[in-house]
Amino acid sequence: MEELRNAQEIKDFLLQIINDHKNKESILHPFDISKELEALRKLDEESYKFICKKMPSELFAEILCEMPTYIQEEIPSIISDTKIANITSKMDSDDASTLIYNISQIDEEVAENILSKLDKEDQKIIEQLNSYEDYEAGSYMQSELFNVSIDENIGKALKRLKKQKEENILDNIFHAYLIDNNRKFLGAIGLEELILYEHSQKFDEIAKDKITEYSINHKEDISEVVEMFAHYNLSALAVVDDENRLIGRITHDDIHDIIQQQDTKQLYSLAGVNDEAEQEESLYLIGKNRAFWLGINLITAILASIVIGLFDATIQSLVALAVLMPIVASMGGNAGTQTLTVTVRQMALGEISYTDAKKTIYKEVIISLVNGFLFALVIGIIAYFWFKIPLLGLVIAMSMIINLLSAGFFGAVIPIILEKFEIDPAIGSTVILTTVTDVVGFFSFLGLATLILL
């Protein structure tokens, strides 16, 4: 689709989308429409509000799910609570609970008013989903699913599914979830597997064939759910309560979003940036958060400068040291960052834990030591031919080995120790490691120069 150039073109385009939807004609995916709506919001707020008010609730329900949190939070200031309630009623339960929760973070009274306009069943489901903690599996589930009784006829169940699909009660259905008369979860069978059986058969006749028993307790940590999706290539996962009763399901699209959020958070944390703050529109809040970590970095930089100051007489005696110092610090910092990034990522994937830390540290130290000797030889030769001082090449070579060795060791140790104390290894690791490599690099290089060259 060609990029639209101005607010009027976007407005006309969205009006056409609304008209096509009313005429039940084929339209763009909700994600694409949401991006155009966001673009209009930035260019012309009045036109944006006009389109939001004109947007049919059924279509807006699909679009709003694709939009950022801050836009969901502000939606009560644009359209009426009654329309928001109507939009919410047309969402999947997990998306509806997220919308109500986001609105409540800005105005709890408005959120309660919207919730009160929903039918009692929807209210109960949303309140239940929002009662879970962020890390619990139940907060990511949806109540809409296709469950069948173990003694039900397959053909009858499929007719029921067809009716629910025609009435838009269910979508993205991958499995039939088998339950007993007490709603206890028995297993799941893929819909494509049902074509192997006669419609006259009952589910208890096929219960031993093609049935998977994967499920997760509603209080389990969401990280366990992510691992199950990754390990077993799942498209959806049944959620059960403490009595093993089926209460919902988690689908692959939600897990994809969670993985993306985790990766983004980890990447931002390694850079000393808060992922939630970066989603803010306020430049003040973004700048304030970044300034905190820059302040921490300034303190650590001063520590490195203090170390350099201890050897000011040495540097004055041999200017070549000032030329070569950044090389030692840079190589140590890069080597440490490599180790830190690999270690933190493997920890996030569950491949490394505190119990097997010794093996990880040993591996990283060996790799760093090998690289240390390799680049010590290279920089030693370069320094010799550059400044014609044989012992200077020896000094920087020895310093390179020491700094890369410490970079590999601390790059692995720091995140492992932070995790042991239940601190996110991605947060603060970079700042601590940079301080270590700078201090060790400068101290070893200038200290050896003082001992050997002067």
Indicate the average pLDDT of the chain.
88
The token duo for 280 is: 């803010």
Model confidence over 117-163: pLDDT tens digits? 999 999 999 999 999 998 899 999 999 999 999 999 999 999 999 99
Q: Are strands 147-149 and 175-179 parallel, antiparallel or unpaired?
A: parallel
**Can you give the pLDDT at residue 206?**
86
Distance CA 434, CA 442 (A): 12
- Of residues 23 and 46, more confidence is placed in 46
**Can you give the pLDDT at residue 240?**
96
- Max distance between CA atoms of the chain, in angstroms, equals 95
Residues 214-222 have a mean pLDDT of 95
**Can you give the pLDDT at residue 357?**
79
The closest alpha carbon to 139, from 246, 258, 228, 262, belongs to: 258
pTM given for the model? 0.70
Residue with token string 């408005």: 110
- Burial bucket for residue 5 (CB in 10 Å: 0-12, 13-18, 19+): exposed
The closest alpha carbon to 143, from 167, 162, 125, belongs to: 125
**Can you give the pLDDT at residue 22?**
87
Residues 169-194 have a mean pLDDT of 90
**Can you give the pLDDT at residue 276?**
58
The token duo for 411 is: 């790059």
- The yes-or-no verdict on residue 286 having pLDDT over 70 is no
Model confidence over 24-78: pLDDT tens digits? 886 789 999 999 999 999 999 999 999 999 999 999 999 999 999 999 999 999 9
Is the separation of the CB atoms in 57 and 83 below 8 Å? yes
For the four alpha carbons of 305, 310, 316 and 319, in that order, the dihedral sign comes to negative
**Can you give the pLDDT at residue 267?**
63
